[in-house]
Structure 1
């Protein structure tokens, strides 16, 4: 045993001596280079590793990012220290110059983020046999805690998947789109399996996609569509902003109806028809209106069978508040629209408001008044402030200078509604506005006169509050003014001859200019009604304006009006003064928004 030990010790000494000799010879021969699986290491390399069968690699220390950051760095000595970052899936090295760990994948490396499952959803419509398009994507909300690159995928077992890659340049909550691709194979509800930067993400409940059957055959009735909700510039559409679209289904299947995007908004809807015949479908809106212009949206369906697949729907956006300057006598009779039922009509949200049921979608008025007898200087100052609309009532009497100021305001696209029955006032206004000194005004018939309205297709005669073409308006307590000498540049609403009088009258008793924003009727009491609640005043010959508070001050005709004559009995006519006025205001709001003094 002792002999054996002696022999073993001798062998060990010999091996050590041989290794030292070999190491010295090898280093000298190869200039200090070490080779693995090679007897001729690269002379410029300290270590030259060869894969003998070309099927192996080299592994350097693999650390998580947390483990890497736990290394105590000796800055001068560790410059170039290299590890493989398993968190980032990339090589990192310590840089003395930058005093930080660097990634060879770039400065950013792999992002760190979490997915908000509650906000993750599949967008678009998925139909068996139909290739996914740009409208098919996953909307993913993420919270980024470290900027960098990301790869997110969503897979299904049904022939289509989602994939997206990119770079987060900012931390915080943000929403990204993960594009879809493929073609659904079966009609079913699929669970989308999410993976973020190589890690599976489990959502409860999971993101799901319902694949619909191929489209059925149906026609759309856009002319009967109902646009629901209120639309405002700068306000994002919500759940109440929908279109109810009537359709007639002739064969069952899925449906998809989408609109183009107009001024920032669009609509879409999808589902499956389970019955044929007439029914309604709902299209949901998205986006934010960028202007108050009427949006004409083209609806496109995937209906089969050769039927028409497009039609148009208009969406009305709320018009912002406008300023109204009132000039006229403010009494209980309501000659000026600054007081009385006419003011209530203007301020009623039933008529002009932001509710879904408002007749005109509008945010309301800012009312100011100059009273009945403003000085020329006060008038000029008020008009220079550029009110959107000016309403003139009884018994304001502008002189020639005032008429010139009003004409100048109109030429700058201001809006004037003048309801006057003074000949001097009317003559000054018309001569100033139409630049014609030969225009003249004269008194016409008296209280209870009824005038026929023309059949012209006009936004005041046929507006949102009613079609009064071929109907009548009524003169209040004084006498109507008629204008003569007008040759062009106007649209006649009514002439000076009452329908209930045989006395011949000539001239015009109501008109709208075709060149400037000017409406005129020759009666200062056009708005008259001393009943604050807007109910009909009992007389048949005075106070023709009716807008009952019980109806939200909605304008209605006065059902019994006029003196007897020319075959008509006392109170045997109907007059539409309040409906006309409401249509005038609706016209004025639209003009002010799209072609007014403050749109220059």
Structure 2
């Protein structure tokens, strides 16, 4: 019978392979549990080391053998079932710190365990959004102890994610929001002549978002939009030259026409240039105005993409509606929190609603009377339309009737809502939606 001997000329007669060494061991293939389960038709006796299995009263990592496909067979543990033993308290499992897409993470997961038998441990979370949390060491005493899991990898995309951690007989879930990428993003505000010049708000509406204190984050505080630079530039006219030169310098351009005299700003040439630029550069455009006269030319632009906007003429309290079943990553439930059911008083009745025969639009709804569709996301033209009094230009908001509201530079009027989580969600939505350059206009 043929035999193979490694480091020996006389292999044991009972072995087809005899390996001799006093310095090194035999290392079987190492893989995740999901990879192990994906092995097609494993042979009985196949041996692997599962790096994230916890089936044998271990805290992570097991030597396993496949015993067959019959009853009570399958992958069985070769690891010792004695040694380290502990239980995990999922209620005290938390993620500490923040994660940002594209940046090496510094956040950690803290777990509370109750050790009944001392020994080594190895705990690993699922791999989610490119990040896994792991921890290992030795329990040298029994009782309640704290374990810290450190991150491996780098977050891939912004959004809400959940990590699962199976250890100590429990599966714990930890969720957090991965912030937008910290790569340089420049927002340029092109404020047309009008009453709502966004670049002149006391302290700057956008700077409120950027510079807010971490302690103010929450339902009653100012949201924080990190790592975004802001420039304010005013233009009385927008033409092809502006579109081709100024706009192309930035990742995002917020183009404000609220309160401007449309006859002095918009004409057929401007509209055609803007629509053409949208189609050529796949720019994101966020549109809104404060009455029909100002919006007349916006309606003309909308008609060129098969959407009609009309003055809904309602009043009362307005709030964001839910669910938005056809709106993935809706700014209502965005990076900075869920604002469903929150809103503000709307005494003027200037809201705009939209109609369209297109079936590819994702609609934004509110509690308005009549047509509730007051906004939409157009994934073909990268257009976000938001009718007036639904969150951008409402001029009659006060600090007392806005929810959620800014705690910094809250002076009322059209600017108040721009210091809220809703508006920060909208900016983050634009940042995360654009494949190349983003151009936003209101």
TM-score (norm 1): 0.45
Structure 1 segment 208-219 matched on structure 2, within 5 A: 214-219=83-88
Whether the 8 Å contact between 2:309 and 2:354 is mirrored in structure 1 is yes
Q: Secondary structure of the residue that 1:221 maps to in structure 2?
A: strand
369, 374, 387: which one pairs with 1:510?
Answer: 374
Q: Which residue of 2 aligns with 1:92?
A: none
Matched, 1:253 2:118: yes
Q: Judge conservation of contact 2:185–2:252 (CA < 8 Å) in 1.
A: yes
Structure 1 pair 315–223 and aligned structure 2 pair: CA distance change class (3 A): farther
1:581 aligns with 2:423: yes
Separation (CA, whole Å) in 2 of partners of 1:276 and 1:242: 26
Number of the residue aligned with 2:364: 492
Task: Give 2:340's aligned residue.
Answer: 469
Bigger relative contact order, structure 1 or 2 (CA pairs below 8 A, ≥6 apart): 2
- Kindly tell me the number of residue pairs found equivalent between the two proteins: 340
Deviation, 1:339, is 3.2
1:374 matched residue in structure 2: 238
Structure showing greater radius of gyration is 1
Of 178, 192, 196, 1:316 maps to 178
Distance 1:262 1:221 in 2: 18
Which residue does 1:363 correspond to in 2?
A: 227
Distance 1:453 1:426 in 2: 22
Match of 1:86 in 2: none
How far off its partner does 1:462 sit? Answer: 2.1
The residue correspondences of 1:269-418 to structure 2 (distance < 5 A) are 269-270=135-136, 271-272=138-139, 274-276=141-143, 280-286=146-152, 289=154, 291=156, 303=168, 307-308=169-170, 316=178, 318-329=181-192, 335-336=197-198, 339-340=201-202, 342-350=205-213, 362-375=226-239, 377-385=241-249, 387-396=251-260, 397=262, 398-411=266-279, 412-418=281-287
Shift of the alpha carbon at 1:273? 7.3
Runs of 5+ unmatched residues, structure 1: 1-129, 136-212, 498-505, 562-574
| SS of aligned partner of 1:316 | strand
Q: Provide the C-alpha distance between the structure 2 equivalents of 1:578 and 1:298, rounded to a whole number of angstroms.
A: 29
Residues 450-493 of structure 1 show CA distances to partners (whole Å, capped at 9, x for unaligned) of 324312246322224343323333447x6514234334424132
Structure 2 regions of 5+ residues with no counterpart? 1-24, 31-81
Secondary structure in structure 2 of the residue aligned to 1:456 = coil
Contact 1:352 1:361 in 2 (8 A): no
Write the deviation string for residues 93-120 of structure 1: whole angstroms up to 9, x where unpaired. xxxxxxxxxxxxxxxxxxxxxxxxxxxx
> What CA distance in whole angstroms lies between the structure 2 residues aligned with 1:294 and 1:273?
39
Distance 2:83 2:174 in 1: 24
Alignment root-mean-square deviation, CA: 5.0
Alignment-derived partner of residue 267 in structure 1: 133
How many angstroms apart in 2 are the aligned matches of 1:233 and 1:290?
6
Please report the TM-score for the alignment, with normalisation by the length of structure 2: 0.58
